Amino acid sequence: MRDSFSIGELGRQTGCRVVTIRYYEGIGMLPEPARTAGGHRVYGHAHLDRLAFIRKGRELGFSLDSIRNLLMLSERRQDASCAEVHKIAISHLTEVRGKITDLKVLETVLVDALEDCGRTSVEDCRVLDALRGGAGDRG
């Protein structure tokens, strides 16, 4: 197992683009790596683990601030309470459920517009009416 990685290799192993890795470094979520004499970044396993954690958190829809807090909590394993992690996760779940509710409303609007669509002319198009905010409100 290798002890160090180039930025490209780190990106390949985590599925992150190089620009994303640099962004996470720039906002302090990923520690600055060591540099070679030629100035190239050299990453270690800690970077790999941390970047994988960030990426998984993003895949689950956590905000960068939430991920930052979760990272801090995970690094304080001895004195941190899982209750703090639980609070962050519950907050995120509430947001996810809100988005699901919003998506169900969106689905209903689209289904109704498509069912009402007579596919006649653009002037009478219920899908376009829905986009204008007045499905069925033709006066």
DSSP code for 134: -
Residue type, 88: I
* Average pLDDT of the chain to the nearest whole number: 88
Residue 92 has pLDDT above 70, yes or no: yes
State whether the Cα torsion 106-112-116-119 is positive or negative: positive
Residue 28 has pLDDT above 90, yes or no: yes
Task: Tell me what pLDDT residue 2 has.
Answer: 76
The pTM of the full predicted model, rounded to 2 decimals, is: 0.77
At residue 90's C-alpha, the angle toward residues 86 and 96, to 5°, is: 145
Residue 134 has pLDDT above 60, yes or no: no
pLDDT class for 1, splitting at 50, 70, 90? low
Please give the class, per CATH, of domain 1-80.
mainly alpha
More confident residue, 119 or 47: 47
Task: Tell me what pLDDT residue 26 has.
Answer: 95
Locate the domains of the chain by residue range: 1-80, 82-139
Alpha helices in the chain (DSSP H): 7-14, 18-26, 45-59, 64-75, 82-116, 126-132
